[in-house]
Amino acid sequence: MKHKAIPFAARAILAALPGLSWQVGHWGPVLSLVLIPLVVMGETRRERYGIALAYYLAGSHGLIEGSASFFGPGHVPMGIALWLTSSALLAAGWAFADRPWRVLAVLVVDALPPLGFFDWLSPLAGAGVLFPGASWVGLLLLLTGVYLLVWWMTRGLPTDLKWRHVCTDTLGFLAGMALMLNVFTAVNPAVVPKGWTGMNLHLGPITGNIMADMARNQAWISKTQAVAQAMAQAMAGHHAVVLLPETLTTWWAGNAAEVRQSVPNGQTWLVGASVPVGRDLLADGIEAVHGSGGVGVGGKEKSGGGAVTDSGTIPDGFGNGGIGEESTSRLLFISPFPVPVSMWHPWYRGHGYVRADGVGYEAGWWEPVRKVNGVRAWASICYDQLLPWVWLEGAIQAPQVVLLTNNEWWAKGTGIPEIQGATAWGWARLIGAPVVEAENA
Give average pLDDT by consecutive 10-residue segment, the chain, 441 residues: 68 94 94 95 94 96 81 80 95 96 97 94 97 96 95 71 77 93 92 92 80 86 86 72 93 90 88 88 93 44 38 34 52 94 79 60 95 94 96 96 90 86 97 96 82
CA–CA separation, 177 vs 191, rounded Å? Answer: 23
d(CA 368, CA 380): 11
Beta-bridge partners for 289: 269, 329
Q: By CB neighbour count within 10 A (0-12 exposed, 13-18 middle, 19+ buried), where does 144 fall?
A: middle
Could you tell me if 364 and 336 are in contact, meaning their C-beta atoms sit under 8 angstroms apart? Answer: yes
User: Within 22-61, where are the H helices?
Assistant: 27-31, 35-40, 45-59
pLDDT at residue 305, rounded to an integer: 35
What residues contact 80, with CB distance under 8 A and at least 6 apart? 64
Report the pLDDT value the prediction gives residue 103, as an integer from 0 to 100.
97
CA distance 39 to 51: 6
Dihedral over alpha carbons 199, 200, 201, 207 (to 10 degrees): 90
Q: Which residues of 266-299 are buried (b: 16+ CB within 10 A; e: fewer)?
A: bbbbbbbbbbbeeeebbbbbbbbbbbbbbbbbbe
Whole-number pLDDT of residue 327: 57
Regarding pTM above 0.85, the answer is yes
Q: Domains in the chain, start-ordered, CATH in brackets?
A: 8-187 (no CATH), 196-440 (3.60.110)
Integer Cα distance of 377 and 361 in angstroms: 23
Contact by Cβ (8 Å): 113, 68 = no
Report the DSSP pairing between strands 370-372 and 375-381: antiparallel
